Amino acid sequence: MTSPLPSSPAASVLDLAPVVPVVVVSDAADAVPLARALVAGGLPAIEVTLRTPAALDAIRAVADEVPEAVVGAGTVITPEQVRDCVAAGARFLVSPGWTETLLAAMRGSGVPFLPGVSTTSEVVALLERGVREMKFFPAQAAGGTAYLRSLAGPLPQARFCPTGGIGPANARDYLSLPNVGCVGGSWMVPADAVAARDWARIEELARSAAGLRDAGGTCR
């Protein structure tokens, strides 16, 4: 990501919280109470994935009604999605991978972005283009903590938000790495809790995830 988040005390979404909730919203009416529960639990950066028709409306609702949240868009794969997400109020963009066309669109969007990588060559290519903050995806399948630890030596300037296969059992292992700023995950927004609109449970799970920053001294 190449520009600071507006109205944010941190220069990067990687520094806002140890965990970025990866949220799939099927009903836009759930977006605001869901975001409020996550923020109340200490997770202000929220990635709403473009996996449902309700995603853009959800981003718009959170941007309009939950100003304390830093709402972003995930699963961004086209320049048109970049445009539509920013117009809806997304304050950061996350992609599962990148191409030159998509990277150019994200650069031109005016908001921070995390392009997805899973190989050393992709990391080097982004570093050549001045991008130092990236999504590592799919984290567990692509080599997990061992892979990221191996990258830290030759490529210390790259920082990552690993996503994919991360939960409370292994999040701390990722967060202990020097090149990991935060992790992405969905365990604090289980589908059954969202379906039941159990916002109190989601807030409790978010609070536990937010506490990973200080747990065992493993997070910066």
* Angular region, 129: left φ>0, alpha ψ -120 to 50, beta rest: alpha
Mean of all residue pLDDT scores within the chain: 93
5 band by pLDDT with thresholds 50, 70 and 90: low
pTM, two decimals, is 0.93
Tens-digit pLDDT profile for residues 68-99: 999 999 999 999 999 999 999 999 999 999 99
Q: In whole angstroms, what separates CA 92 from the centre of its chain?
A: 9
Tens-digit pLDDT profile for residues 166-215: 999 999 999 999 999 999 999 999 999 999 999 999 999 999 999 996 64
Give catalytic status of residue 135 as yes or no.
Answer: yes
Which residue out of 68, 122, 128, 135 is catalytically annotated? 135
Q: Is 56 helix (H, G, I), strand (E, B) or coil?
A: helix
Torsion angles phi and psi, residue 184, rounded to 5 = -110, 140
Average of per-residue pLDDT across 102-130: 98
Angle, alpha carbons 74-176-118 (nearest 5°): 45
d(CA 121, CA 91): 28
How does strand 183-185 pair with strand 133-136? Answer: unpaired
Average of per-residue pLDDT across 123-152: 98
Give catalytic status of residue 133 as yes or no.
Answer: no
11 band by pLDDT with thresholds 50, 70 and 90: low
